[in-house]
């Protein structure tokens, strides 16, 4: 698959340690259902043959969702499974060598921890850079956090796509977006959550809300959903439910304090200032 024209807002990386008892395939499919725009296989401790098997599985899965697959560290595995690209850190194979091996069509992402590394990766032809770890994280223990001040600097000076990574959760993502990130990446907050699809939807919701604030659509209205401000161009409740990726889900919708029957969604217009509760029932029973 060739995906050089890729763009993304939510980047999800695997982290098997975070979901004991749940299969990698199930967890990543949930992330894709929830709106992951790009997936990275990162398996630091697994034997290489196991990483290869996981890469093959994720190649099939991501192809079904038409989402790019990136392999962390291993160019040979990326090539073996025809992944869309690789992600390399400052101590991995240098960008120029990787580009010479992979050619111009594959995506190469480079980790950066300061603006000098970012500008070097950009000048060297990286397709995107990672900016982090923004916050301390157990996924890369002992790494010093770069804080949101590096996110802000990257937003001002980097012209290729950059993705903020490291310790990002639903509780602190707004600070990362306020600092100017348009793309965020998470491991533990997503694959370690009880409901990865729901968590991805919630991340996408924050990403969309910030994008709408930065570039308001004249047709969009300011509303509140589950206590949080959002902007939407949905004309009616049904369209809003679809934008939240909740069509077909077991939900109850309350608009301005009144519960709406499902039959009324399409006919109920959304007005500026509308307050909604979307109550999603997960699991069986």
Ligand X SMILES: Cc1ncc(COP(=O)(O)OP(=O)(O)O)c(N)n1
Q: Which residues are catalytic?
A: 42, 111, 140
**Helix, strand, coil shares, percent, the chain, to 5:** 35, 20, 45
Tell whether residue 41 is among the known ligand binding residues: yes
Binding mask 18-57 for ligand X (x = CB under 6 A): ----------------------x-x-x-------------
Residue 175 Cβ, how far from ligand X at the closest point, in Å? Answer: 18
Residue 141 Cβ, how far from ligand TZP at the closest point, in Å? Answer: 10
The count of chain residues that interact with Mg ion, using the rule CB under 5 A, is: 3
Tell whether residue 82 is among the known ligand binding residues: no
Q: What whole-number distance in Å separates Cα of residue 56 and Cα of residue 51?
A: 9
Q: What whole-number distance in Å separates Cα of residue 155 and Cα of residue 69?
A: 25
CA nearest to 274, candidates 234, 222, 202: 222
DSSP state of 270: P
Q: What DSSP string describes 174-200?
A: HHHHHTT-S-EEESHHHHTSS-HHHHH
End-to-end CA, the chain: 41
Report residue 202 as tokens. 């919630």
Considering only 26-34, 40-48, 88-96, 216-224, which stretch makes contact with Mg ion by CB under 5 A? 88-96
Q: In 3-state terms, what secondary structure has residue 88? A: strand
Binding mask 214-253 for ligand X (x = CB under 6 A): ----------------------------------------
Considering only residues 146 through 205, tell me which ones interact with ligand TZP, judged by CB under 6 A. 165-168, 186-189
Considering only 4-12, 45-53, 71-79, 155-163, which stretch makes contact with Mg ion by CB under 5 A? 71-79
Order of strands, edge to edge, in the sheet holding 251-255? 228-232, 221-225, 275-280, 251-255, 258-260
Per CB under 6 A, the list member of 87, 201, 205, 206 interacting with ligand X is 87
Binding-site members are 40-44, 72-73, 92, 111, 137-140, 167, 187-188
Residues that bind ligand X (CB under 6 A): 11, 13, 40, 42, 44, 72-73, 87, 89, 92, 109, 111, 130, 163, 165, 185
Binding-site members for Mg(2+) are 73, 92
């Amino acid at each position: 698959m060739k995906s050089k024209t890729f763009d993304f807002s939510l980047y999800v990386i695997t982290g098997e340690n975070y979901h004991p008892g749940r299969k990698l395939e199930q967890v990543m499919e949930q992330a894709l259902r929830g709106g992951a725009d790009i997936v990275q296989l990162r398996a630091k401790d697994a034997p290489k043959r196991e990483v290869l098997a996981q890469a093959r599985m994720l190649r099939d899965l991501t192809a079904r969702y038409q989402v790019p697959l990136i392999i962390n560290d291993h160019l040979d595995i990326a090539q073996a499974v025809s992944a869309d690209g690789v992600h390399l850190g400052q101590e991995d194979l240098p960008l120029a060598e990787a580009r010479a091996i992979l050619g111009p069509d594959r995506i190469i992402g480079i980790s950066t921890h300061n603006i000098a590394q970012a500008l070097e990766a950009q000048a060297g032809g990286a397709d995107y850079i990672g900016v982090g770890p923004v916050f301390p994280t157990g996924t890369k223990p002992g790494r010093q956090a770069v804080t949101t001040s590096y996110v802000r600097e990257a937003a001002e000076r980097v012209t290729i796509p950059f993705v903020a990574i490291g310790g990002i959760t639903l509780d602190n993502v707004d600070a990362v977006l306020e600092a100017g990130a348009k793309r965020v990446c998470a491991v533990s907050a997503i694959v370690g959550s009880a409901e990865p699809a729901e968590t991805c939807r919630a991340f996408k919701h924050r990403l969309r809300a910030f994008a709408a604030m930065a570039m308001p659509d004249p047709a969009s209205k300011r509303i509140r959903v589950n206590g949080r401000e959002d902007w939407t161009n949905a004309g009616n409740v049904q369209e809003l439910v679809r934008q939240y990726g909740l069509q077909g889900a077991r939900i109850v919708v309350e608009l301005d304090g009144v519960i709406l029957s499902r039959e009324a969604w399409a006919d109920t217009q959304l007005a500026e200032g509308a307050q909604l509760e979307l109550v999603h029932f997960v699991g069986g029973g």
